[in-house]
Amino acid sequence: LEARLEAADLFKKVVEAIKDLVQHCNFDCNDSGIALQAMDNSHVALVSMMLTADTFTPFRCDRNIPLGIDLTSLTKVLRAAQSSDILTIKSEDAPDVVNLVFEGKDQDRISEYDLKLMDIDQEHLGIPDTEYAATASMPAADFKRICSDLLLISEAVSIECTKEGITFKAEGDIGNGSVTLRQHSDLENSDKNVDISLTEPVALSFSLKYLTGFCKATGLSNQVRLCLSNDVPLMVEYALANNSYLRFYLAPKIGD
Amino acid sequence: HQYQEQLSTFFKPK
């Protein structure tokens, strides 16, 4: 494997966004790119990352290799990379270590780290292609703000999507709160758009602890997309350049 | 009261 990123920033942010959700995971490398799928310890949330080969310049991977990595250790190594550094990830066949090289833009500094790999026997879940009943795109910063505000009211949020908009409702001991985002297009700045497509109305409840955790990915993308269908896990997607993505799945809460 | 589902209810191991 040899994969070179123009700026370490992307990889630093991706790892930062998932390291509190999953501790040990395989980065599955093959000729289409670097992928990762891992569930949190409670098996309630799942992260699915794809960094496509086109994200790297260049990208070369001659055979499928899983790089089993402790994300806490990786975070320590990535601290040594400045956001603007060129990052190269390298690995041999059947590796014991992954090699990370950080180069300053002006090429006067080269840092090189070897990170020990671990054997991780990871369960992969099959995520079916789903036609979601409702898809809502909104500014990622707005979603983060809504989740963190409502977490102060309640542990759970009900998300309701209709043609008019998407409503987040929390009911707690101190009272209730709700935030509605109405569909709208900002002609000046499409990053501010709220776009809803719907085949049927959806109402589901989710843990805000997990949703606020997903929002650690906010810096990766201006917009976030929520995909919902009744009685299936929510998908929260941060789309990245070159068809790369960071997706989170969260199982719903069901009333008893 | 609400009960938290697990993902394995929806997604099966590959």
Pairing of strands A110-116, A156-161: unpaired
Q: What is the pLDDT of residues A148-202, one digit of tens each?
A: 999 999 999 999 999 989 999 999 999 999 999 999 999 999 999 999 999 999 9
- Provide the token pair at A59: 């990208």
* Nearest-Cα residue of chain B relative to residue A38: B7
User: Measured between alpha carbons, how far is A229 from A30 in angstroms, rounded to an integer?
Assistant: 32
Angstroms from A210 CA to nearest CA on chain B: 12
Q: Do A233 and B12 touch (CB under 8 A)?
A: no
Chain segment A33-76, per-residue pLDDT in tens: 999 999 999 999 999 999 999 999 999 999 999 999 999 999 99
Instruction: Tell me how far apart the alpha carbons of residues A104 and A81 are, in angstroms, rounded to a whole number.
Output: 9
| Burial annotation A138-157 (CB, 10 A radius, 16+ → b, else e) | bbbbbbbebbeebbebbebb
Instruction: Please report which confidence band the pLDDT of residue A106 belongs to, taking 50, 70 and 90 as the band edges.
Output: confident
- Mean pLDDT for A87-106 is 94
In this predicted structure, the answer to whether residue A123 has a pLDDT above a threshold of 90 is no
Interchain pair B7, A253: CB under 8 A: no
ipTM of the complex: 0.96
